[in-house]
């Protein structure tokens, strides 16, 4: 029974009309209704039936197609749909044709866990009211610069974009940067890029997101942040940088932050290096109200500072390191130089002591060369004789 999962009393959820008998019965009912109440017909005609692999609720305006091995977006979706979840399927690629019909009321679209690899241009063009897009937990390896474009200069209605754990590898950050820059995402307020193993963020990546309020970059592998990365984000309220590999924040980044008074920055679980270069960051940390829980930031290096919380580090304790590997490299170079010099001296000494033997050896070589040259001269004359050329090349080996 198709409705066995749904309490029959509610009857709000209608599964796909897979069985012919059900479809016949509903058609028959519609026909009867048509005869009885002519005016109802126009409404019934508009109702697209629920796609076979989905569960639909017209009251909640929701369609769910979860874990059904789907390889593409179902063709005919009910036009009332506001929330569409096509999750845990096998949709490899989304293109302009993927959403064929215009779905004006579609607001929330969930496409997480789909092994999604490719996002073509203008993919969401037919969804003019799309506000929340969840593409998390996918394997995106090719994202068009124009994937989030709705066409021309029109600004996208998108408010929230979830790209958490959605990239095939960290190199794909360049595709994301291109799509964010070209997507006309004037209204985007929330962007989740957590869990993507990102090691760096291209310059200008967030420069075309003027409305961004929440940016989640946690659970990546960021080591440092470029100057100016966040400088256009005038409305930014939360910046989550937890669980990265940050070692220090430089003056330029601190300036970026300070120019946005409403900002709250989350920085715990990073690998802060407490040497003398961290001083400006420590001073900033002591003055700022942007970092809520700064006592939960700890030094990772050097060894003797490990687990010391940043606000309790005394500036006078900070040492300037030339890294141990560097200084040992220097001593080894000096050592190598000395050894080479010694070898050179010994070599010269040996030459000097053997000067008679060497002289004799040189004479021997000269004689040997002379003999050889004569032999060569002789052969050259033979080769010059055209009648003997073939013979000599054939027997030369
Ligand atoms: C879209 O939503 C509006 C308002 O909620 C409603 O009046 C309209 O009928 C819906 N459109 C479709 C195609 O269901
Ligand atoms: C991405 O997809 C487009 C269109 O299918 C193709 O032309 C392009 O070569 C692909 N790029 C990569 C890096 O795979
Ligand atoms: C994005 O998706 C992940 C995984 O599905 C989820 O944990 C996270 O809360 C989502 N982010 C937002 C901003 O909704
Ligand atoms: C990411 O995947 C692409 C495509 O397979 C590959 O060319 C690139 O080298 C990978 N990058 C890293 C950092 O592994
Ligand atoms: C961090 O990201 C990885 C994928 O890169 C994911 O498997 C893991 O669950 C994430 N951890 C948290 C705490 O979100
Ligand atoms: C950022 O994403 C991580 C992992 O998805 C989540 O645990 C965290 O709550 C998010 N941060 C914010 C501020 O929402
Ligand atoms: C960073 O700024 C502080 C004062 O705010 C200054 O003393 C220091 O020299 C600056 N460091 C660099 C590397 O510019
Ligand atoms: C502050 O950090 C401490 C230590 O990591 C943690 O136990 C506490 O929950 C954090 N408080 C807030 C408000 O994040
Ligand atoms: C630092 O803290 C971690 C976990 O809190 C602990 O495993 C480690 O032993 C500590 N290291 C030192 C040097 O105290
Ligand atoms: C296809 C396209 O328009 N790409 C553009 C995206 O934005 C960057 C930077 O603004 C341009 O260099 C690309 O040409």
- Pairing type for strands 62-64 and 83-85 reads parallel
For residue 162, give every residue at least 6 positions away whose Cβ sits within 8 Å of its Cβ, in sequence order, or none. Answer: 112, 132, 133, 134, 135, 136, 192
Q: What is the pLDDT of residues 142-189, one digit of tens each?
A: 999 999 988 777 899 999 999 999 999 999 999 999 999 998 999 999
What tokens appear for 146 in the block? 């124009």
Residues of the chain with pLDDT under 70: 1-47, 322-331, 369, 372-397
CB 156 within 8 A of CB 148: yes
What tokens appear for 317 in the block? 């304790």
Give the CA dihedral 83, 89, 94, 99, nearest 10 degrees.
Answer: -40
Q: What is the pLDDT of residue 15?
A: 52
- State whether residue 62 is helix, strand or coil: strand
Ramachandran class of 61: left when φ > 0, alpha when ψ lies in -120 to 50, beta otherwise: left
Q: What is the pLDDT of residue 325?
A: 54
Label each residue of 74-123 as H, E or C: CCCCCCCCCEEECCCCCCCEECHHHCCCCCCCCCEEECCCCCCCEECCCC
Pocket-forming residues, ligand 4, beta carbon under 6 Å: 168-171
Q: Phi and psi at residue 143, in whole multiples of 5°?
A: -120, 120
CA-wise closest residue to 19 among 52, 56, 58: 52
Domain ranges of the chain: 56-326, 331-355
Residue 63 is classified by DSSP as E
Q: Which ligand has its closest atom nearest to the C-alpha of 310?
A: 8
Does 3.80.10.10 match the CATH number of domain 56-326? yes
Q: How far is the CA of 236 from the centre of ligand 8 (A)?
A: 22
* Whole-angstrom Cα Rg for the chain: 37
Q: Phi and psi at residue 283, in whole multiples of 5°?
A: -60, -45
Question: Which residue lies with its CA nearest to atom 11 of ligand 4?
Answer: 171
Atom of ligand 10 nearest to the CA of 181: 7
Measure the CA–CA gap between 346 and 342, rounded to whole angstroms. Answer: 6
Q: What is the pLDDT of residue 363?
A: 79
Q: How far is the CA of 223 from the centre of ligand 3 (A)?
A: 23
Q: What is the pLDDT of residue 11?
A: 41
Kindly give the residue spans of alpha helices, DSSP state H, lying in the chain.
20-36, 41-46, 173-182, 251-258, 279-287, 324-353, 355-384, 386-395
Q: What is the pLDDT of residue 328?
A: 59
Q: What is the pLDDT of residue 3?
A: 39
Q: What is the pLDDT of residue 45?
A: 43
Q: How far is the CA of 172 from the centre of ligand 4 (A)?
A: 8
Question: Which residue lies with its CA nearest to atom 13 of ligand 4?
Answer: 171
Is residue 311 in contact with ligand 7, taking CB distance under 6 Å?
A: no
């Amino acid at each position: 029974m198709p409705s066995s999962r749904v309490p029959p009393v509610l009857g709000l959820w209608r599964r796909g009309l897979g069985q012919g008998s059900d479809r016949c019965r509903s058609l028959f009912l519609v026909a009867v209704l048509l005869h009885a109440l002519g005016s109802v017909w126009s409404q019934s005609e508009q109702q697209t039936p629920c796609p076979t692999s989905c569960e639909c609720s017209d009251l909640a305006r929701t369609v769910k197609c979860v874990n059904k091995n789907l390889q593409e977006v179902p063709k005919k979706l009910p036009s009332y749909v506001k929330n569409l979840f096509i999750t845990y399927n096998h949709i490899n690629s989304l293109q302009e044709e993927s959403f064929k019909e215009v779905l004006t009321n579609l607001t929330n679209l969930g496409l997480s866990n789909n092994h999604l690899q490719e996002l073509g241009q203008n993919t969401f063009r037919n969804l003019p009211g799309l506000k929340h897009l969840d593409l998390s937990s996918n394997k995106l390896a090719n994202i068009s610069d124009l994937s989030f474009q709705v066409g021309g200069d029109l600004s996208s209605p998108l408010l929230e974009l979830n790209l958490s754990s959605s990239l095939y590898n960290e190199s794909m950050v360049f595709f994301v940067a291109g799509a964010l820059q070209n997507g006309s995402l004037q209204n985007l307020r929330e962007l989740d890029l957590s869990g993507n193993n990102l090691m760096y963020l291209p310059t200008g990546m967030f420069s075309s997101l003027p409305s961004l309020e929440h940016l989640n970059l946690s659970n990546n592998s960021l080591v440092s942040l470029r100057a100016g990365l966040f400088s256009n984000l005038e409305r930014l309220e939360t910046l989550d940088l937890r669980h990265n590999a940050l070692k220090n924040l430089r003056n330029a980044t601190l300036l970026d932050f300070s120019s946005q008074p409403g900002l709250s920055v989350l920085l715990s679980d990073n690998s802060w290096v407490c040497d003398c270069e961290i001083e400006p960051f420590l001073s900033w940390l002591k003055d700022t109200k942007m970092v809520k829980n700064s006592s939960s930031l700890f030094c990772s290096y050097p060894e003797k500072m490990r687990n010391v919380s940043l606000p309790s580090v005394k500036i006078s304790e900070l040492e300037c390191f030339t890294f141990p590997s560097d200084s040992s490299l220097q001593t080894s170079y000096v050592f190598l130089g000395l050894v080479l010099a010694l070898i050179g001296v010994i070599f010269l000494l040996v030459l000097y002591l053997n000067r008679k033997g060497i002289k004799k050896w040189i004479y021997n070589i000269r004689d040997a060369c002379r003999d050889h040259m004569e032999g060569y001269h002789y052969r050259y004359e033979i080769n010059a004789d055209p009648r003997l050329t073939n013979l000599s090349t054939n027997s030369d080996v």
